[in-house]
Structure 1
Amino acid sequence: MTRAGLLFDQPELEDAIETDELVAWKKQRYLEFRETMRETRYPCHFAVQAERADTARYLFAGNARDRDALLKVREGLRQYLERYQSIADRTTLVLFFEPPPEGQSEQEYRDQFWRVLEFLNERDPEPWPRDVPEDPNDPEWEFCFSGEPMFIVGRAPFYTDRKSRYTPYGLEMTIQPRRALDDISGDTVEGQQARSVIRDRLEDYDDVAPHPDIGDYGDPTAWEWQQYLLPTSNEESLDEFPFEIDTE
């Protein structure tokens, strides 16, 4: 256990690897993530910077099918949201799930991803924030937990062409609190520049064009939750939010 409870920072992870204190699957997951983030071609500048500047925090959750793993995610996310503002202006939480013992289908990964969010929503320690719409079909809606709205990205082995969302070993989720992104929103000059650079890099990095559902928070033509776990094909889109949000 680290000074941040369930969460690791980068020096703690590297020390655990050097001293052989990290079990094989955890070491494998982090080293693959680190190598990806440190590639100069990786499209998301903010993700790369969080890894290089040690402003990311990491949680190893276990098997996504297990209730104990989901409870660990709940507690780890709560710990992170409690202290993220003291880490840096720009920070992210990376959730690694243990690789499944055998291959999984794309649908199984999708079911697990949304089950994680449903589990968190069902066991949210705080009521839904008053300033965030309760309807997922409102363009200003986004997932909330412990009173904090956040942007979520899922990576998984089935993204063989959409390489920016690909990881070979199992489900992975990155979470960024909305407050850490407010100064680079789509209506700011810095935010528009950053999105332009990321979109250009996506076209070079991925073997498929950027998905048409990728858009800016608050854009009336885009819903953030459609971007959480993108379809593999640009002809597909998630038309209905996968579960009923509890806002009590």
Structure 2
Amino acid sequence: MTEALHPNHGGEPGLDELTRELALDPDRRSPHEVAGALETMVLHPDYPCLGARSVFNRDRATVVALGEMATEGATALLYDALCAFGRDTDQGAGFASLVAVFPDTVVDSETAFESLLWRQLEQLHEADQQPWSPHVSDDPANPHFAFSVAGTAYFVVGLHPAASRIARRTPLPTLVFNLHQQFEDLRASERFERMRDTIRRRDTALQGDVNPMVADHGAGSEARQYSGREVPTDWTAPVSFDEENP
């Protein structure tokens, strides 16, 4: 393991310090305040994910505040938001994400957050009356799995105050739904490998080690990456989205 780098940019706190400060100040309830906190974090010079930086730089983040995660009310609101997002977003205009924040949810560990994340995705699926996206698998163990809502595939990123990875640490529990098609479009171009390698290099510099859960789509199930927790090799998702084999 190498020592993490936390450079000081003109007196600006390092990202590790910033995320800890934000996590200690969870009194950010409105979508505007939540978006501001996330933008501050993502646009910090040390933040490794270039795609997320692009989303906020280009005003392509749709932020919704939903109360308590994995409740009936939050699920209904999130489902409606995802349906509208998938329907109305121009997928050819670059990176775009729906950011769902749950200000009434208390998370004190990575395992607790992981459980909530999968419960929330399961409830979304139960509310979904449309077929799974035909472009991805509905089996979380399949290397070509991606989550689907209203026929649109998403790569889900979980963020929360108790995350061990600095880039996953946010003041409030958050689920980011990234359009899966944007990664496929990037992969079809010549920019994918360069961007991937840059992100991994920046994350290693920030954290001090390589994120052990990162894998290219098709090399292993992306479900293992959703919660941000380092899971064992024999990990399986606690839910099934296959209607024939629940």
The two structures share one fold, judged by TM-score above 0.5: yes
Which of 139, 150, 153 is residue 149 of structure 1 equivalent to? 153
**Matched residues in 1 for 2:232 and 2:134: separation?**
33
- Alignment of 1:97 with 2:99, yes or no, is no
Which of 164, 168, 187 is residue 165 of structure 1 equivalent to? 168
Aligned identity (percent) is 24
Sort the Cα spacing of 1:188 and 1:218 in 2 relative to 1 into closer, same or farther, 3 A.
farther
Equivalences for 1:108-123 in 2 at 5 Å?
108-123=112-127
Sort the Cα spacing of 1:182 and 1:103 in 2 relative to 1 into closer, same or farther, 3 A.
closer
Q: Which amino acid aligns with 2:126?
A: E
Contact 1:151-1:176 at 8 Å conserved across structures: yes
Contact 2:107-2:161 at 8 Å conserved across structures: no
**Matched residues in 1 for 2:225 and 2:207: separation?**
16
Q: Which residue of 1 is the match for residue 197 of structure 2?
A: 196
Equivalences for 1:45-64 in 2 at 5 Å?
45-64=50-69
Q: Which residue of 1 is the match for residue 39 of structure 2?
A: 34
- Alignment of 1:245 with 2:246, yes or no, is no
Q: Which residue of 2 is the match for residue 180 of structure 1?
A: 182
Structure 1 residue 238: Cα displacement: 6.5
Structure 1 residue 205: Cα displacement: 1.6
Contact 2:140-2:240 at 8 Å conserved across structures: no
**Matched residues in 1 for 2:90 and 2:99: separation?**
16
Structure 1 residue 52: Cα displacement: 1.2
Report the TM-score, using the length of structure 1 for normalisation. 0.79
Q: Which residue of 2 is the match for residue 228 of structure 1?
A: 226
**Matched residues in 2 for 1:150 and 1:129: separation?**
9
Sort the Cα spacing of 1:50 and 1:129 in 2 relative to 1 into closer, same or farther, 3 A.
closer
Contact 1:60-1:95 at 8 Å conserved across structures: yes
- Alignment of 1:134 with 2:138, yes or no, is yes
Q: Which residue of 1 is the match for residue 212 of structure 2?
A: 212
Contact 1:211-1:230 at 8 Å conserved across structures: no
Q: Which amino acid aligns with 1:176?
A: N
Structure 1 residue 65: Cα displacement: 4.4
**Matched residues in 2 for 1:154 and 1:246: separation?**
22
Q: Which amino acid aligns with 2:192?
A: G
**Matched residues in 1 for 2:67 and 2:48: separation?**
28
Task: Tell which has more relative contact order, 1 or 2 (C-alpha 8 A, sep 6+).
Answer: 2
Sort the Cα spacing of 1:104 and 1:89 in 2 relative to 1 into closer, same or farther, 3 A.
same
Q: Which residue of 1 is the match for residue 71 of structure 2?
A: 66
User: How many residue pairs align between the two structures?
Assistant: 217
**Matched residues in 1 for 2:228 and 2:194: separation?**
23
Q: Which runs of 5+ in 1 are unaligned?
A: 1-22
Report the TM-score, using the length of structure 2 for normalisation. 0.80
Contact 2:34-2:101 at 8 Å conserved across structures: yes
Q: Which residue of 2 is the match for residue 75 of structure 1?
A: 80
Alpha-carbon displacement from aligned partner over 1:63-110 (angstroms, at most 9, x marks no partner): 11431111111111111011112682321111111143x663433322
Contact 2:67-2:102 at 8 Å conserved across structures: yes
Question: Which 10-residue stretch deviates more, 102-111 or 148-157?
Answer: 102-111
Question: Which 10-residue stretch deviates more, 134-143 or 112-121?
Answer: 134-143
Sort the Cα spacing of 1:103 and 1:179 in 2 relative to 1 into closer, same or farther, 3 A.
closer
**Matched residues in 2 for 1:133 and 1:86: separation?**
20
